[in-house]
């Protein structure tokens, strides 16, 4: 049983057109091989010239991109630090809620609450 694919169906559908184009290409290459060779060499020379002259990138532009990437990396570090501070504040808030829920506080609880509030104050001061 023959495997049916999209390409096999396209080949069956357009086989007459493909044969005509192939015959035309074979006729052209048989009649004018020198011209085809000259066109190929000219295209290779143009490609060489473009590759090593006009399309060459200036190395002066590269440091500008690295400065931008350094700023982005620095900002990503700041985002991470802010996320850690926020997580710590959430943890402190949970501890404070536990302390507030108590009926009575002893001296240790009062000192702990004061330390937690001071830590929140310190973490809220943003360094720029």
Kindly report, residue by residue over 16-60, the tens digit of the pLDDT: 999 999 999 999 999 999 999 999 999 999 999 988 887 776 655
**How far is residue 64 CA from its own chain's centroid?**
18
Contact call for residues 123 and 85 (beta carbons, < 8 A) = yes
Give the separation between CA 124 and CA 116, rounded to whole angstroms. 12
Kindly report, residue by residue over 72-111, the tens digit of the pLDDT: 666 777 788 888 888 988 998 898 888 888 888 888 888 8
Q: So where are the chain's domains?
A: 6-54, 59-124
Look up the pTM and report it: 0.40
């Amino acid at each position: 049983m023959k495997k049916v694919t999209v390409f096999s169906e396209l080949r069956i559908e357009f086989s007459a057109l493909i044969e005509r184009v192939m015959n035309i290409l074979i006729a052209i290459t048989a009649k004018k091989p020198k011209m085809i060779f000259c066109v190929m060499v000219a295209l290779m020379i143009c490609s060489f010239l473009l590759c090593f002259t006009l399309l060459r990138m200036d190395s002066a532009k590269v440091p500008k991109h690295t400065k931008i990437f350094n700023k982005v990396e620095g900002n990503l570090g700041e985002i991470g630090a802010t996320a850690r501070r926020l997580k710590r504040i959430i943890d402190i808030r949970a501890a404070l809620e536990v302390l507030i829920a108590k009926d009575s506080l002893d001296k240790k609880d009062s000192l702990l609450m004061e330390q937690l509030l001071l830590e929140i104050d310190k973490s809220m001061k943003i360094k720029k």
